[in-house]
Amino acid sequence: MKIGITCYPTYGGSGAVASELGLALAGRGHEVHFITYAHPFRLTGYRERVYFHEVDTTSGHYPLFEYFPYTLALASKQHEVALAEGLDVLHVHYAIPHATTAVLARDMLRGTRDLKVVTTLHGTDITLVGQESSFFEITRFSIESSDAVTAVSNYLRNETVRAFGISKKIQVIPNFVCQSDYQPKQPTNRDELAPGDHKIIAHASNLREVKRIRDVIRIFARIRRAMPATLLVIGDGPDRSEAERESRELGIDEDVRFLGRLESLAELLHATDLFLLPSQLESFGLAALEAMACGVPVVASRVGGVPEFIEDDVHGILEPPGSVEAMARRAVALLRDPKQHAAMSAAAAAKAREYDGQRIVPMYEALYREVCG
């Protein structure tokens, strides 16, 4: 089968999942074509049956256009690739604008090629962007016009139906991890990341407001007062400067390392003792699942889809958003109890195996076959 994939190529869960899905599909014999404005960050090097088609954002800057019409350029490129490569399915990640442009590209092919559009909803395309008044109707139209729709959690499916009154069936296909990369392993780089007597705490995100990055710093500051520790902040985004300032003001900046955007977290997670994800909202929380797969207990907010794969005090620690004191207190207790930490680590890794790509990717394949008749 020939499958086109459009996603945001920048650092974030949806781009990571889309890239890993494409690679897994290619590994299973499908031909995969990525269509977006830049190379997805997890799509590195040559991979057999994987192709990249760049949307041109440099031409067409006419005086009449105050802003470059990227959505039209994307729809045109999706149409072009579908026609030239004979795509069977165009799988888009995020409703806005990707589902909108895919529906347009599909309809441009009417009578030429029977292209099917599969839309995967990831979170803020529904909970934030889609519910803005200026995008509400186009979001609903794009979802209803797709040939099939998936959501990464039961929470997100239910929220989509509630917010938009969607009548179309939405299938839940959760995010997944590649167990060959994300699994418990002895770290080889721990001494490079922190002094030998330090506990290593990690956080990974696109450092937006919804991730509550200042809470990450505040939780770590309380851990640091209780024991020697180093915090690894992986990723980049608009709230990085606030986090850096917070760490300086709390006097812990020497023990906080901002590592920026990285293609893979696995090597760092193997050396990590605890993962922090105190977000305001998470429709799934892929970074937490990747940490669990490496045997790292997670301290997270009890929100959205997170409780669907983390049971409190079994696979990690769950508290309401903003519960800095409670999260820090329980994190310290866990780090001080090697027996409990080992049990939680093993339980987290076992739970993550339920989300192995070998189990999840066939669900997408079955959906493609269904929509293609």
CATH architecture, domain 2-176+356-371: 3-Layer(aba) Sandwich (3.40)
Question: Taking 60 as the threshold, does the pLDDT of residue 130 lie above it?
Answer: no
Question: Taking 60 as the threshold, does the pLDDT of residue 95 lie above it?
Answer: yes
Domain residue limits, the chain: 2-176+356-371, 190-355
DSSP letters for 286-314: HHHHHHHHTT--EEEES-TTGGGT--BTT
Query: What would the pLDDT profile of 248-285 be if each residue is shown by its tens digit?
Result: 999 999 999 999 988 778 899 999 999 999 999 999 99
Query: Is the alpha carbon torsion for 70, 76, 80, 82 positive or negative?
Result: positive
Percent of the chain with pLDDT over 70: 95
Q: What is the pLDDT of residue 146?
A: 96
The Cα–Cα gap between 310 and 351 comes to 8
Query: What would the pLDDT profile of 338-356 be if each residue is shown by its tens digit?
Result: 999 999 999 999 999 999 9
Radius of gyration, alpha carbons of the chain: 21
Q: Do the first three CATH levels of 2-176+356-371 and 190-355 match, i.e. the same topology?
A: yes
Confidence class of residue 204 from pLDDT cuts 50, 70 and 90? very high
Cβ atoms 211, 11 nearer than 8 A: no
Q: What is the DSSP letter of 254?
A: G
Sequence-separated (6 or more) residues with CB below 8 Å from residue 270: 184, 185, 186, 187, 188, 294
Query: What would the pLDDT profile of 11-68 be if each residue is shown by its tens digit?
Result: 667 788 899 999 999 999 999 999 998 888 777 778 899 999 999 887 666 666 666 7
The Cα–Cα gap between 287 and 363 comes to 21
Mean residue pLDDT across the chain: 92
Query: What would the pLDDT profile of 139-155 be if each residue is shown by its tens digit?
Result: 999 999 999 999 999 99
Question: Taking 70 as the threshold, does the pLDDT of residue 206 lie above it?
Answer: yes
DSSP letters for 51-117: EEEEPP-SS---TT-SS--HHHHHHHHHHHHHHHHT-SEEEEESIIIIIHHHHHHHHHTTTT---EE
Query: What would the pLDDT profile of 288-315 be if each residue is shown by its tens digit?
Result: 999 999 999 999 999 999 999 999 999 9
The H or E element containing residue 13 is helix 13-27
- CATH T-level topology, domain 190-355: Rossmann fold (3.40.50)
The three-class DSSP label of residue 223 is: helix
Cβ atoms 166, 137 nearer than 8 A: no
Strand partners, 53: 35
